Structure 1
Amino acid sequence: MTRALGPKAGWSSGGNPGGWIVLGVCWAFPVLFVIVWAAAWLASLITTGTVEGFGFAFVHHVVVGRTRQAWPNTPTPLVVANTLALCAAAAVAALKAWRRIDARRGDPADPVAALADNPGLDVLKPDMASAQARELRVSLAKRSGPLPDHDIGLPLGDLKRPGGKTGPTLFASWEDSLVTFMAPRSGKTTCLSIPYVLSAPGPVIATSNKGDLWAATAQSRADDTGANIWLFDPQKITYQPQKWWWDPLLGLAGVEDAHRLAGHFVLTVDDGSKKDLWGPAAQDLLASLFLAASSSGRTLHDVALWLDEPAVPTPVELLQKAGFKLMASGLRGAQNGAVETRDGIYQTARTAAKALRDEDILAWVTPPEQPLRRFNPDVFVTTRDALFLLSKSKSPAAPLIAALTDANMRAAERRAERSGGRIDPPLVVVLDEAANICRIADLPELYSHLGSRGIIPVTILQSYEQGQTVWGEQGMAALWGAATRKIIGAGVDSPRLARDLSTLVGQHDVAVRSITHGQGQASEQISLRRQDILEAAAIRALPPGSALLLATGGKPALLQLRPWYRGPRAAEISAHMALAERMIADAANDTADRPRRGHP
């Protein structure tokens, strides 16, 4: 009968301890006599005695008991006491050395040990990452001395080592694009969003469906850079007053820009069948209305009114006057088509543009009654300002968040073209809850070149399937393939993704011991077995605070994420969060005491 004992690291590469035992016994005797001689030498220093030089004669005299010849005039009891003390010290030192070596060696079956030795990660370590940062950013090329972390790149986490230890911090470079999968309450905000907003060396955009990201970083960011903090919060998640506005129609230079803006609205239609059937026509309609309003100095208020009157000729006339004759012809065709078709197109467009029915949302994107600052994306990308875009999941304001994010990224691309290819300092775009509040239709295509422009996107999703609902299977596959750094955190419950990740991590050889019983005898055998470094179940069970990193050009690695509350600025951030939360609570109470719109 044979019984497998499972993966077990042996004492040697073959797993057989016999050779180590023989080797240990052979060396034990010489080491023992060296200790005895050292003990005698120490005793001779204390007393007036002497000790014979170490050699075969000394060993022979000790073995036959001629201590007077081995250490003349030196008390033997003192030599024995010193020998015991030195043996104890040597045993303790050997035990500590063995534990340190064993901890570094690790269990071959342990995925941390299997993934820790990874030369492909050298480019992400501080030294090489700093050198790459100097190459990518002209402003750092002549700076002497070590670079601070916020100039090196975005911190990915600390490399896990065997024995519960961690290695160097790994950094994403200033030409990388990141995609992250993490379940709710698994560290998305504490380990990624907050550290990335604080460490961005240039302008930063951050989306969220809660106020904690703004509360934790806004004041610290303002103190660090002395720049402006822009908060877009039409749904009053933070209850802060509106201090600025943005005109989405101002940057529409032509048909393509109008279609991009319309696409952000159509992508939020929840009814997939309606979006697929009427979506392209609704996008054409919205693009025509946006362009008509933009070319004539009108606002989104006018667009909302035109959507309610399918036969109104005003937008057609404005397009013809502005020289967009083909767009005018297409809009006239949609208005004069079959009633059922026209109504389906207009209803889909109204569903997509439901933000235009909310006065609180329109106040942020139409000229205000009171003078407020106007946000300009072309100016924003030249500063170190921070833009926080807040909205509840799948809310009417989501298209405007996507549009504003897209406008800033396109402004950064234009500036990069004028600056020789990339912007310095880079623009960091942290898209938390991207599938719910910041749906940019061509984000997978943008991922293929944003990094080369100095625009660093960080898309944070709850699951792979969540991305598929927005960009489709092919689009999500393109986003996955274009991301140069992929971070998979705790809570990945997709069986398909877990299996695919297990395959990508790969396999390794693991020593397996087995014992065979038969005819009153037992024999032990050691064999090698190929097995997954990380099984799908192990990927699903990643603990919060840890993550699997897939980096282009290197083997996967296991990371210990770096939450803000374990960093050097924890006390400062905690104080700012407490102050911001009190401000939110006070403002919420004041709002609750006021009569709501439409009520006395």
Structure 2
Amino acid sequence: MSRALGPKPSMWHPSAAGGWLVLAVCWGPVGCLAMVWGAAHVAAWLSGGRVMGFGSDFALAVLHGRFERAWPDTPTSLVTAVLIAGGLGLAVAGHHLWRRIEQHRTWPGDPIAALARSTRLVSLQRPQVAAKAVQLRRSLRGRRPERLAPEEIGLLLGHLQQRARRTGPAVYASWEDTLVAFMAPRSGKTTALSIPYVLSAPGAVIATSNKADLWAATAELRRETGGRVWLFDPQHITYQPQGWWWNPLAGLFTVEDAHRLAGHFVLTVDDPNKKDLWGPAAQDLLCALFLAAATSGRSLHEVAGWLDEPAIPTPIELLQTAGFPLMASSLRGTQNGAVETRDGIYQTARTAAKCLRDQEILAWVTPQDGLPAFDPATFVHPGAGQSGTLYLLSKSRSAAAPLIAALTDTVMRAAEHQAEQAGGRLDPPLVVVLDEAANICRIADLPELYSHLGSRGIIPVTILQSYEQGVTVWGEPGMAALWGAATRKLIGAGTDSPRLARDLATLTGQHDVPIRSLTYTDGRASEQLSLRRQDILEPAAIRALPPGTALLLATGGTPALLTLRPWYTTPHADQITQAITTAENAITKAARTHFGNNKVIDFTKDFPDL
């Protein structure tokens, strides 16, 4: 919030035209005569001549054309050339000076100027964030903050906009912040957030996406840092061969862990009525089946089979043997309930676990001969996987999304356990970039996790297309909790939610704007300047934020407008471009092989019925 002490008429105001005219008439001729006299002095110095003293005699001599008297022994042509050159030089200098003045000038109601007045964002600038990084990370103790590399101190949010055409200092998120971003497609969320954050992370990274662009731009460069790249791509988005597998049932020996795993599946059910009616019971059913399989050394293959046989007693017997009589009793009650109820529960569970019907997806979460198993604890352990990168790709939530959510959640919990063993904080921190989080990485209690992940050295970056998209996943209370727990909020271009735009306008605050009014009375005109209180950013202005710009809301700070920094403006742009080219060639070659020995599909010939 800013408040002016009073309206200040501008020196360029139209009412000041008369004064400027008087000054021009009085001092214009004097200035022109001074330029002629200065040019004559320069010409006299070059030719060895002389020049009369500046005054009325010099002016009369010039006006009457008696140049030999005004500058004796000095060629008039030389004086003219110097005068023209000097005039051009002054014109160029004046033009540049005017542009500099224009860059620093503001107009009444300029939101950038109003937001730039605040000094409460100093804590987000490099010196302060670097000092905090030294305090938070044990590996940086004893180092001077000013000598830290940008990627060591935090995640770059952007550059403050101080004027309409001027970029201010960079601001960062520290290694204890949690981020949430609302950005529409093609507004810079991948180029300015996902790719730079993956490349600048000092430790392990989890990155989710529904496209290959994030992997293509960063995988090879991350591999060059010495860490292993793990690519989870069961839907062949990159067409790269499977190089590993992960067992979701590994280490699952408690009801709580099994219930948490089941929740990732149920959250992907598309039908809200079915999810609300049968969802809790379907989650309990999957919990029992997962626990029975995990404690008996079985895999998800058996779980998929048990879902097709509602009356099979095998999982009940396995739960009894493993020491879970209450879970066995619960499963028996589900199987022995009314047929309509039992079928509704089992059908909802089958819908939630439909990814287990896809053999290509199932191959990534069941034992595969010759392929290593992914171990989340090793991945987050400093020294073993500190620069590893885990890419999790899926085209939609109807496919491998529950497995992506489960693997992300498992790695974050492993990171929490590692942090607890290391004194409470993970060093180097784990960066979790959840692009398309509402579609392919639905973690039910993510809003609650946001309240403490930052204090553990786990930095989540949840990128959503809109506020309403988050509401569809976590509900109104959950989304409000996520919004409140995020310490850094970025709102980019394409915010079409009227509700969010109005709320942001309120949070941004108001300022005083000078208003000029004219009154005509008895043939006379009078002018008044008054103050009007108005929003710094109106909802329409927030919706119309241009691509590459974002509104920042930081805990404990005032709102600010940022200029984002996409990867192609960084010093590593050439390396990233080369990595993208190499990856795209690899995808093209692998795709042709996948579709049959470089055969190009001709829809007219191959599918005449279409």
TM bucket (normalised to shorter chain) is 0.7 to 0.9
Q: Which residue of the other structure, out of 583, 587, 597, is the alignment partner of 1:584?
A: 587
Pair 1:514 & 2:513 matched = no
Task: Indicate whether 1:106 and 2:119 are aligned.
Answer: no
Distance in 1, matches of 2:14 and 2:262, equals 66
| 1:174 counterpart = 2:167 | no
Contact 2:448 2:482 in 1 (8 A): yes
Q: TM-score, normalised by structure 2?
A: 0.86
Whether the aligned pair in 1 keeps the contact of 2:40 and 2:71 (CA below 8 Å) is no
1:565 corresponds to: 568
Alignment pair present for 1:134 and 2:127: no
Deviations 1:401-450 (A, max 9, x none): 00000000001101111111110111000101101100000001101111
Name the structure 1 match of 2:549. Answer: 546
379-388 or 79-88, which deviates more:
79-88
> Are the aligned partners of 2:103 and 2:166 in contact in 1 as well (CA < 8 Å)?
no
Contact 1:108 1:114 in 2 (8 A): no
- Name structure 2 gaps, 5 residues minimum: 1-6, 62-69, 599-610
Q: 1:447 to 1:44 in 2, by over 3 A?
A: same
Q: Which residue of 2 aligns with 1:159?
A: 160
Aligned twin of 2:372: 373
Deviation at 1:125, TM superposition (A): 1.5
Which residue does the alignment assign to 1:319?
319
Q: CA deviation at 1:524?
A: 2.5
2:209 corresponds to which letter in structure 1? S
Superposed, 1:17-96 pairs within 5 Å as 17=16, 96=96
Q: Which amino acid aligns with 2:523?
A: G
Equivalent position SS for 2:147: coil
Distance in 2 (alpha carbons) for counterparts of 1:509 and 1:134: 41
Shift of residue 186, structure 1, vs aligned partner: 1.6
Match of 1:199 in 2: 200
Name the counterpart of 1:296: 296
Partner of 1:5: none
1:527, 1:277 → 2: CA distance?
60
How far did residue 107 of structure 1 move? 2.0
Would you say 1:356 and 2:359 are equivalent positions? no
Cα deviation per residue 1:256-310 (whole Å; 9 max; x = unaligned)?
Answer: 1111100000101111111111111111111111111111111111111111122
Corresponding residue to 1:532 among 532, 535, 538: 535
2: CA distance, partners of 1:391 / 1:72: 84
What's the CA shift string for 1:221-247, capped at 9, x where partnerless? 111x11100000111111111110000
The whole-number CA distance in structure 2 between the counterparts of 1:452 and 1:371 is: 39
Aligned to 2:119: 119
User: Which shows bigger deviation, 328-337 or 198-207?
Assistant: 328-337
CA distance in 2, matches of 1:27, 1:142: 63
Contact 1:10 1:16 in 2 (8 A): no
In the alignment, what sits opposite 2:434?
431
CA distance in 2, matches of 1:127, 1:44: 55
Letter in 2 for 1:361: I
Number of the residue aligned with 2:242? 242
Letter in 1 for 2:300: L
The C-alpha deviation readout for 1:137-178, integer Å capped at 9, x for no partner, is 121222345222211211111222324221222211111111
Deviations 1:78-133 (A, max 9, x none): 99999998898778656644542442232232222222233122122122221121
Alpha-carbon distance in structure 1 between the residues aligned to 2:248 and 2:256: 14
Aligned residue number for residue 233 of structure 1: 233
Cα distance change, pair 478–24 in 1 and its aligned pair in 2 (3 A): farther
CA contact (8 A) 1:205 1:429 kept: yes
Q: For residue 174 of structure 1, give the secondary structure of its aligned residue in structure 2.
A: coil
Cα 1:61–1:132 change in 2 (3 A) is: farther
Indicate the larger mover: 88-97 or 160-169: 88-97
Superposed, 1:210-229 pairs within 5 Å as: 210-223=211-224, 225-229=225-229
State the AA in 1 paired with 2:277: L
Kept in 2: contact 1:498–1:539 (CA 8 A): yes
8 Å CA contact 1:204–1:427 kept in 2: the answer is yes
Supply the AA of the counterpart residue of 2:141.
A
SS in 2 for 1:288: helix
SS at match of 2:167: strand
Q: Equivalents in 1 of 2:418, 2:573: separation in Å?
A: 35
Distance 1:305 1:120 in 2: 59
Q: State the secondary structure of the residue aligned to 1:439.
A: coil
Structure 1 residue 21 displacement after superposition = 5.2
Q: Distance in 2 between matches of 1:248 and 1:79?
A: 89
Distance, in Å, in 1 between the alignment partners of 2:104 and 2:420 is 48
Corresponding residue to 2:468 among 465, 482, 485: 465
The Cα shift of 1:511 comes to: 1.9
Does the CA contact (< 8 Å) of 1:361 and 1:397 recur in 2?
Answer: yes
Cα deviations by residue, 1:441-472 (Å, 9 ceiling, x for unpaired): 00011011111111111111111111000000
Aligned-pair CA distance for 1:522: 2.3
Change in CA separation of 1:256 and 1:448 when aligned onto 2, cut-off 3 Å: same
After the TM superposition, which of the residue ranges 93-102 and 485-494 deviates more from structure 2?
93-102
After superposition, the Cα gap between the structure-2 partners of 1:302 and 1:24, relative to the gap in structure 1 and judged at 3 Å, is farther
Give the Cα–Cα distance (whole angstroms) in 2 for the partners of residues 404 and 87 of structure 1: 71
Summarize the alignment of residues 442-521 of structure 1 with structure 2, pairs less than 5 Å apart.
Answer: 442-521=445-524
Counterparts of 1:372 and 1:76, CA distance in 2: 91
My pick for the range that moved more, 508-517 or 426-435, is 508-517
Whole-Å Cα distance in 1 between the matches of residues 22 and 137 of structure 2?
56
C-alpha distance in structure 2 between counterparts of 1:588 and 1:22, whole Å: 73
Q: Partner of 1:185: helix, strand, or coil?
A: coil
Q: Which moved more, 1:525-534 or 1:37-46?
A: 37-46
Distance 1:356 1:19, change over 3 A: same
Output the CA distance in 1 between the equivalents of 2:233 and 2:23: 71
| Corresponding residue of 2:420 | 417
Q: Is the 8 A contact 1:105 1:113 kept in 2?
A: no
Q: For residues 412 and 596 of structure 2, what CA distance do their matches in structure 1 show?
A: 40
Letter in 1 for 2:584: E
What amino acid does structure 2 have at the position aligned with 1:245? W
Query: How far apart are residue 63 of structure 1 and its match?
Result: 10
Aligned length: 578
Structure 1 unpaired stretches of 5+: 1-7, 53-57, 66-70, 596-600
Which amino acid is the alignment partner of residue 206 of structure 1? A
In structure 2, the residue matched to 1:149 is 150
Task: Determine the C-alpha separation between the residues in 2 that align with 1:75 and 1:592.
Answer: 86
Q: Name the SS of the counterpart of 1:593 in structure 2.
A: coil
Sort the Cα spacing of 1:44 and 1:14 in 2 relative to 1 into closer, same or farther, 3 A: closer
